[in-house]
């Protein structure tokens, strides 16, 4: 019953959304070059399925690579900010400022900096756009660790590394995963920014662009839906990891 509900309810919600979309297009009598309807999409997928598979794979691996970089760099940065007040005071304005820059403006900069390194550029953008939430949440998680938590081990002469490994790290995991869920979708935006703004014929972004140049509007919408599906898949992959590593933070439902 519970698993049925867990799977059935989201599927029903998606079905309702699709039906509503179809209805809106039908009621307004929009042609598919204004707004494609869900019933236009199967044809696009059937015609270009191999391009969808290749593009999805290219988008997915570059997003995941950027995300992994973001996890490593964001966690390290968060640790520095969590443990040192000076680092926190110094880095916060820089980080916030950097995060406020629209990343689309960085695409040409990266493209010029690393000419022709398409994969590298794309991974770098996915990373740049997604490390911020991780760094901030790890930093806050560590800096707000109650002193008693540290003291129970420190009073036994435990080293800083031991205290980090046994207390600070596990205690910060729920915040970390919360941030990672935000970062997952951000990383997709980063990958696609490069794929669309600085086209190099790879990824779902390139497929979107070719839909645009060929005035194949259903194809463009089909790409957007494919991106949404990839986003959902990666998000739930993170949820599964969270269940394994920070499942204890989930309160039993009473």
Region near other proteins per CB under 8 A, out of 45-53, 76-84, 155-163, 210-218: 155-163
Compute, in degrees rounded to 10, the torsion defined by CA atoms 180, 174, 165, 151. 140
Closest alpha carbon to 40 in 13, 27, 22: 22
Q: Does residue 158 touch other proteins according to CB under 8 A?
A: yes
Cα 55 off chain centre by: 17
- In the bound complex, what is the minimum distance in angstroms from residue 174's beta carbon to other proteins? 9
Residue count at the site for other proteins (CB under 8 A)? Answer: 22
Q: Does residue 241 touch other proteins according to CB under 8 A?
A: no
DSSP state of 38: G
DSSP state of 29: T
Q: What does the alpha-carbon distance between residue 59 and residue 203 come to, in Å, rounded to a whole number?
A: 5
b/e string for 39-60 if b means 16 or more Cβ within 10 A? ebbeebeeebeebbebbbebbb
Q: Which of 28, 105, 162, 214 binds other proteins (CB under 8 A)?
A: 162
Q: Does residue 156 touch other proteins according to CB under 8 A?
A: yes
- By CB under 8 A, what part of segment 170-189 binds other proteins? 170-171, 173
Q: Which of 88, 166, 181, 200 binds other proteins (CB under 8 A)?
A: 166
Taking CB under 8 A as the rule, which mask of x and - marks residues 98-137 in contact with other proteins?
A: ----------------------------------------
Question: What token pair was written down for 59?
Answer: 């988008």
Residue with tokens 């599906």, as numbered in its chain? 229
Region near other proteins per CB under 8 A, out of 118-126, 132-140, 164-172, 211-219: 164-172
> What is the binding site for other proteins (CB under 8 A)?
146, 148-149, 151-158, 162, 166-167, 170-171, 173, 246, 248-249, 251-252
């Amino acid at each position: 019953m519970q698993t049925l509900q867990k799977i059935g309810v989201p599927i029903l919600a998606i079905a309702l959304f699709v039906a509503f979309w179809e209805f809106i297009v039908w009621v307004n009598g929009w042609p598919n070059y204004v707004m494609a309807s869900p019933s236009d999409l199967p044809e696009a997928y059937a015609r270009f399925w191999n391009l969808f598979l290749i593009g999805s794979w290219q988008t997915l691996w570059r997003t995941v690579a950027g995300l992994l970089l973001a996890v490593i760099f964001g966690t390290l940065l968060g640790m520095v900010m969590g443990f040192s007040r000076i680092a926190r005071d110094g880095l916060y304005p820089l980080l916030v400022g950097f995060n406020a820059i629209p990343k689309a403006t960085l695409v040409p900069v990266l493209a010029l900096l690393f000419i022709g390194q398409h994969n590298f550029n794309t991974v770098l953008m996915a990373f740049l756009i997604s490390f911020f939430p991780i760094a901030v949440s790890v930093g806050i998680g560590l800096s707000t660790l109650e002193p008693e938590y540290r003291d129970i081990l420190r009073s036994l002469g435990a080293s800083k590394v031991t205290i980090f490994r046994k207390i600070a790290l596990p205690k910060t995991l729920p915040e970390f995963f919360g941030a990672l869920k935000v970062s997952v979708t951000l990383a997709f935006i980063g990958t696609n920014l490069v794929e669309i703004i600085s086209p190099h014929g790879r990824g779902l972004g390139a497929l979107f662009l070719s839909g645009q140049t060929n005035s194949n509007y259903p194809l463009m919408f089909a790409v957007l839906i494919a991106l949404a599906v990839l986003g959902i898949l990666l998000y739930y992959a993170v949820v599964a990891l969270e269940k394994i590593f920070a499942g204890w933070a989930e309160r039993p439902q009473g």
